[in-house]
Amino acid sequence: MSTSSNNRSSSYAIDPIFLDRWSPRAFDEKAVISDQELMTIFEAASWAPSSFNSQPWRFIYARRNTPEWSRLFDLLVPMNQGWAARASALIVLVSAKTAQPPGAPGPVPSYSHSLDAGAAWAHLALQATKLGWYTHAMAGFNVEDAYEALSVPADTFRVETAIAIGRQGDRSVLPPPLQEREQPNGRRPVEDLVMEGRFQS
C-alpha cells in the first residue's frame, strides 16, 4: 500500500508528513516567524538521536529585519541570496567534533557528529512542516567565512549547512529558471537504495 500527498506518492505506506516536506525557494516576504515557533522547531531538532547522547548540533539563527540578519545572509552565494532574501529566518547548523563517552576521562573525536547533526536537521525540517513553515538547506554559502563571521571555533566545531525558513510564497517571485524547478521532486525507488547482506553497485 502506498501513500499519496503533495502530488507525490511513496511505494510503501508512510506518514504523509514525509511527502509534504519539501524545499521551496519562493517564500512570502510578509511572513514573520515568532520566537515561540522558532524555539518549537529547535526543540524538535534537539530530540534527534546522537552517539552517546552527545547532541553535537548547534543552531545559529537570525530573523529577517533584525541586526543579526546580515551576518548570516552575507555568507550566502549570490544565487541563494536572490531567493533567501524573502525567508523569515536563516540558520547555520554546526556540529561539535568531539563527544564525551560515559566513563572516558575527557572528550574524544566523534565519528558521527555530522551524521547526528543531519538527524537534527531532519527533525527541524519535519517540525517546521507540521507548523506550516518550509525549510531549504543550502551548501551554497561561504563556509570558511562562516567560522569567523559567526565566531565558530574551527578546532572543535564543523560548519555543516545553512537553512532558510519561511512561509511558501508564489513562484512568480523567482526568476524563470527557478520557477520551473519550484515543485516537490520525487525519489528513486527504495529498491534501488536498499541492499540485503552486502553493498551492490
Classify 32-169 by CATH class.
alpha beta
Q: What is the pLDDT of residue 130?
A: 98
94-147 residue pLDDT tens: 999 999 888 889 999 999 999 999 999 999 999 999 999 999 999 999 999 999
Longest dimension (CA), the chain: 57
- Domain segments of the chain as ranges: 32-169
Does pLDDT of 201 surpass 90?
no
Helices (H), 69-112: 69-73, 78-84
Please tell me the pTM assigned to this model.
0.95
Q: What angle do CA 64, 66, 70 make, to 5 degrees?
A: 75
CB atoms within 10 A of CB 80: 21
Inter-residue contact 108 to 187 (CB < 8 Å): no
